Amino acid sequence: MTRKTQLIGLTFLICALLLCAYIFLRKAGKTRSPQVGEIAKTPTDQKKAKLLKQIDREFENPQAHFELGQLYQHDGLWAQAENE
């Protein structure tokens, strides 16, 4: 084989491997991010929204702040949890 043919074959092989890896990783994740206009509402997100509404209505509601802080802590949002 000539040097040029080897280079083309190697390039093709690398592209094929990258494509296979991409497809495999895409299928392994099986999750997709929400598209524009879609709302991904989990029960936790719904509870956070409810608590934020309560806090907007009555800022001095200690129970709402406490519960919201717990939800933030559960999600690993330590700075927000500490703020609540």
Is residue 74's pLDDT more than 80? yes
Question: Is position 22 within any domain?
Answer: yes
The full DSSP string for 47-67 is: HHHHHHHHHHH-TT-HHHHHH
Q: Which domain holds residue 17?
A: 1-29
* Domain shared by 23 and 47, yes or no: no
Question: Is position 36 within any domain?
Answer: no
The residue among 42, 63, 36 whose CA lies nearest residue 51 is 63
| Between 72 and 1, residue with greater pLDDT | 72
Model pLDDT, residue 8: 94
* Domain shared by 45 and 25, yes or no: no
Number of compact structural domains in the chain: 2
Question: Is position 67 within any domain?
Answer: yes
Model pLDDT, residue 34: 55
* Domain shared by 55 and 84, yes or no: yes
Q: How do residues 16-72 score in pLDDT, each as one tens digit?
A: 999 998 888 877 765 555 555 556 577 778 888 888 888 888 888 888 888 888 888
